[in-house]
A and B are shown apart, each in its own frame.
Chain A
Amino acid sequence: MDFAELTTQPVDVTSVARRVVPPDCGATVTLDGYARAFTRRKDGSTRETLYLVYEAYEEMALKEMQKLIEAAKKDFEISNVGIVHRTGRLEIGETSIVISVAAPHRGAAFEACQWIITELKRTVPIWKKEVYADGEEWIEGTPAP
């Protein structure tokens, strides 16, 4: 089963990974992306983040995630993809995204998972705000198409 979901609740990585497992597959590659405390800035300094806030354009984000799943299934030898992205406030270390890709063989699953996260960061309308001790900043990614 494929799925693309948004949730404000903590994400259980293992249960996402198990939901994509079909009988014709031998491997699932799962990305567990989580909130990082220390971010290296372009000037080389590091800044400590206290917590993150993610905001989504929900309807469009779900559509764009679905498109990524369909495109990945066309381009890679994979069977199922599940994507769950959390929104709202996240503490440091909490999971913000899980991408699980099940495939008959692991190589395609690794490649597809890497492709999906790269594209998601470019196209899916979700934004991250880093909150610091002395301020906050909406992070701007690399522009989409």
Chain B
Amino acid sequence: MTISVLFFGATADAAGTRARAIESGESTVGELVDRITNEIPGLSRHKLLFSVNQEYVAAETQLEDGDELAIFSPVSGG
């Protein structure tokens, strides 16, 4: 399945991109995030939060084809 992966702020700098389509054999958010953080070592310097389809989710959440997964550091708006 294809997952659209988004990065913002510090994670976009670490990934060198803001958006990437990734072919995923992983079934959960946590598994795919683990693979991505192995591929992009700079990400592991940050505490990471993630959302699927614009909602915060737990690592055990199942991924579905076409999902939008965002990986980002703790927010600092305001």
Contact = CB atoms under 8 A, between A and B. Distances in A.
A97 B47 contact: no
Given A57-B8, A60-B51, A138-B13, A85 B77 contact: yes
Interface string B10-42: 101100000000000000000000000000000
Contacts of A145: 56
A62 B24 CA distance: 28
Interface residues of A, number: 31
Interface string A113-145: 000010011111111110000000011111111
Interface residues of B, number: 21
A128 B78 CA distance: 8
Given A125-B51, A127-B8, A127-B10, A57 B76 contact: no
A61 B9 CA distance: 14
B66 interface: no
B49 A143 contact: yes
A20 B25 CA distance: 48
Interface in A46-82: 54-57, 59-61, 63
Nearest to B12: A55
Q: Which of B6, B13, B51 has the most CB of A within 10 A?
A: B51
Nearest to A139: B76
A140 B76 contact: yes
Interface string A1-41: 00000000000000000000000000000000100000000
Contact of B75 (A63, A96, A144): A144
Interface string B59-72: 00000000000101
Contacts of A96: 77-78
18 contacts: A56-B8, A56-B77, A57-B8, A57-B51, A59-B54, A85-B77, A85-B78, A121-B78, A126-B75, A126-B78, A127-B75, A127-B76, A128-B76, A138-B13, A138-B73, A140-B10, A141-B74, A141-B77
Interface of B: 6, 8-10, 12-13, 46-47, 49, 51, 54-56, 70, 72-78
